[in-house]
Chain A
Amino acid sequence: MSSSSSTLTRVQFEQACKAFIDKHARSPLPSMGATTLEGWSWAEHPTVPGLGYLFRTVPLHGRALAPDKNGDFVQENVLQSAEFVDDPAIADGASPEFLTCEQSIAFSPTFQVPAFYFTIHDSRGSPVGLEEIMNTSLLRHHALPETQTTSFALFQRDALFPLLSQGDHPISGLPSWLIHPCGTACAMSELIGEKMAGGMPEVCSKEWLLVWLETWFLMLGNMVQL
């Protein structure tokens, strides 16, 4: 049982996630419109039990792909028939180049809060660099000097820009970007404090955990376009 309202135990985290999925992710990502809290599934470590996390895959706008260097060799012997070259039965619609963002919410044992991990890659499986990530809509930018942005009451003293870091994904072990969870407990204690004043389900019950996680998503949504 977590002794404070600003952190969770791993078991509570798992309970909260499963309740969250039940409530929000019943249908798969809708085909039209922006993605919000939907589309999350639960995944586990392949061999070790008890290490689970939420994950989902989200498309993002990206720039046109760089040409395939050295791969561009026209092959005569693949032309099956003259028809293929101008096959009228193939639709032109060039699909817009988009990037794939794989998002995870994993439990951080050091900080005892959920942490948001993501990787972004193009259709070839190449991960994109920092500049490219900044050009997508994933991270909300507060890169302008303090005076020019609206500050959220919680983050006045801290940096307005998300604490973007690199690290290994805790379950898969692959290099990932992450929003560092060091400030989470502090922010959560304020948010949960306010919520509890307004009336919440019994502390540490399943409903309480669900509200806790939804509040965490709200906080994440300030930094990340969910």
Chain B
Amino acid sequence: MTVVQFAQFSSLVQPTFWHELSRVKLDVLRLSDDSVPLTATYSTGRTIKDRNTGQDVPLGCNISVGGESFSEDYSPPPNSITARGVLKNYNTIEEFKNADKRALFNKLSDEIWDSIIQNHDVAALTRFLLITFADLKKYKFYYWFAFPAFAAQPLWEIDDDWTTPEAHLSQDQLTSLAEQLSPTPPPFFLVRPAQDNTVETAPVNEFSTFFADVPQQSQTIGFLDPSAQASAPGWPLRNLLAYLRAVHPEATQTVRVLCWRGDAASSRIGVLRGGPVDADKPSAVGWEKNVQGKLGARVADLAPMMDPKRLADQAVDLNLKLMRWRILPSLDLDKIAQTRCLLLGAGTLGMLRCANAHGTLFLLTLGDQGWGIRKITLVDSGRVSFSNPVRQPLFEFDDCIDGGKPKAEAAAARLRKIFPGVDAEGVTLSIPMPGHPIPPGSEEQTKRSVKVLEDLFDAHDAVFLLMDSRESRWLPTVLGAAKGKIVLNAALGFDSYLVMRHGARENPADGTRRLGCYYCNDIVAPADSITDRTLDQMCTATAVELLVSLIQHPSGVQAPAPPPGQDPQQLQEVDQGGSVLGLVPHQLRGFLAQFRSMAIVGAAYDRCTGCSETVLKAYETQGFAMMLRAFNETGFLEALTGLDKLYAEGEQALEAVDWEEGADEDF
């Protein structure tokens, strides 16, 4: 003889319940703490196949509530039983914690007892209590269920174990039983044998008459069992047994119980023995434990479904993950997202649209609709003018009025509007340039601007040079090289464009020469890496794609450019020097009139005015003073790097050529 153990009800809440509770609280209850009637449902116990072991694992003894639980004329789905309950919603977490839960619970268990003793009614045996607190700002719901059940003293015991019904009923009887219990069994019912090897069922309140001439061992009490555990019947049985002991004490010392679980094969029968009865109301148990197994409330977090910011986050995440799963499982998205990007020049940001085969906007490619970069800072000195919005989609007509909003701030604000999760900032700043002398009164201002720019460089990982003039790129080139940042340069001609990455400061480990910057190319002749071959091998990478390729490359900024003359298809393999995203070229020059682009490698020039060691060291030791000279003095940079000597050498070489005077003139 072992003690009968019951599977306690386990609550299952659908999201629609919380949606409806929010609506009821806002529209109906407001601050009232009136009780609200609810209807829950439970159904026959189910199992689920364990993926690892292949075994059938029983699901919990579930009872569900959903949005429809609040409606008065609730019709349950097929094969489900309803249970009436009561909801009390509290307006603060304090009230929720301090509510007199014992009193609420006892009130409900009293009601159940009354329905048993006074009404002999089984309809009200399964009841529940639900207390809630809804934090509508954070979309969090605190809740606690109670399912009152009378605890028998002494405990019920079972003779042997629970068995399948075949042990007690014949096959024909079982078939007949299944027929009578379809389509939806009642929650509680009686079974007795009938002629022709069948059975008959009846409601429990007909107990006395139904079992009048039936021997004890042929009487069966049945209930729709929400538990699927082999040796534990579901919670509703407890109150049914309490009912039987109270209303038919003499006939129910021993009870044969049928736990009906949808079909004969899954159901169970057991013979239970109870103790003597006393007339007082038994004590009741039934508060649900939380997931930690303690007596405390549960918390439902519906932010992912209701908080618009979370929904936006999810949409972006989905885009990125899909890209990754479908195309490139080895893509390291985190590395990209963590790259802080500084954009110098908020002008024709759409200018690279022409270079991007996908047609996505440059900035949005960077931002969260594309690669998920979270920190973007824009720098520009201008204001939005009337010609801008048609070409620069981040600006609107309203931005042009009253002299125009500052471009950098306007672009950043629009970015934040498109995706609130992006940390976008705009800085209005004028970048000083060589060849544009600083008026004496503005030196302090310029010094401050340079400092701001230096700080910005320090705070970011990748810098895009998107200005509209050649000389404005000089200062950022020097800063980027000195501070070891990734610098990407994009420039637009009338019908041509250039996209390139600046090389790193140190020579690569393998002894090859480091790649050059924007200014190196002016002196060093580019080596053509793709011969004039097939037009359809157009490279469609933009500066952003170049950045992303670079980040994914194991060597990062030191990534070598593809050697000239090799088949680019081969070079796309990671082990041939590419990243998971393929080639990481140095420069791409495009010629729109010819619908052609070339990948070019330019080695660094040791007399470059932008990135040579001479210049960088001068900046590092002299700081702003050196810069001021670069801005103000013509020829300063050439003298510093020794370019002036190069010109002189060149002139000399030219003059040294002995042009042979034609002695014989044969005309």
Contact = CB atoms under 8 A, between A and B. Distances in A.
B101 A78 contact: yes
A125 interface: yes
Interface string B204-241: 00000000000000000000000111011000001000
A125 B130 CA distance: 15
Interface stretch (B1-9, B366-374, B389-397, B431-439): B1-9
A48 interface: no
Contacts of A24: none
B586 interface: no
A24 to B, nearest CB: 14
A75 B295 contact: yes
Contact of B292 (A68, A89, A102, A121): A68
Contacts of A164: 318, 322
A31 B59 CA distance: 10
Interface string A100-135: 101000000000000000010101111111100000
A68 to B, nearest CB: 5
Interface string B260-278: 0111011000000000000
Interface string B266-307: 100000000000000001110100111011111111101100
Nearest to A75: B295
Interface stretch (A9-17, A137-145, A190-198): A137-145
A85 B290 CA distance: 14
A123 B100 contact: no
B4 A174 contact: no
21 contacts: A28-B262, A64-B291, A67-B290, A67-B292, A68-B292, A70-B299, A72-B290, A72-B296, A80-B105, A88-B5, A90-B6, A91-B5, A95-B10, A123-B11, A123-B62, A124-B13, A124-B300, A125-B18, A126-B301, A129-B304, A143-B329
B47 interface: yes
Interface in B311-346: 311, 314-315, 317-318, 321-322, 325-326, 329
Contacts of B266: 31-32
Nearest to A102: B14
Contact of A125 (B17, B60, B263, B318): B17
A211 interface: no
Given A68-B296, A71-B298, A89-B4, A100 B229 contact: no
Contacts, number: 198
A78 to B, nearest CB: 5
- Count chain B CB atoms within 10 A of each CB in A98, A119, A121, A145 and give the residue with the most: A121
Given A93-B58, A126-B304, A145-B329, A79 B48 contact: no
Nearest to A83: B151
B322 A59 contact: no
A62 to B, nearest CB: 11
B4 A68 contact: no
Interface in B53-96: 56-62, 77-79, 93
Interface in B179-205: none
Contacts of A153: none
Counting chain A CB atoms within 10 Å of each CB, which of B7, B17, B322 scores highest?
B322
A127 B5 contact: no
Given A72-B290, A87-B151, A95-B59, A124 B5 contact: no
B579 interface: no
Nearest to A28: B79
Sort A-B residue pairs by CB-CB distance and give the 8 closest, nearest first: A95-B60, A91-B232, A71-B297, A125-B13, A91-B5, A124-B300, A143-B325, A72-B296
Given A123-B62, A124-B299, 7 more contacts: A28-B262, A31-B266, A67-B290, A74-B296, A77-B100, A95-B10, A100-B14
Contacts of A98: 48, 59
Nearest to A77: B102
Contacts of A80: 102, 105, 283-285
Greatest chain A CB density within 10 A among B3, B17, B57, B60 is at B60
B565 to A, nearest CB: 29
A29 interface: yes
Contacts of B11: 123
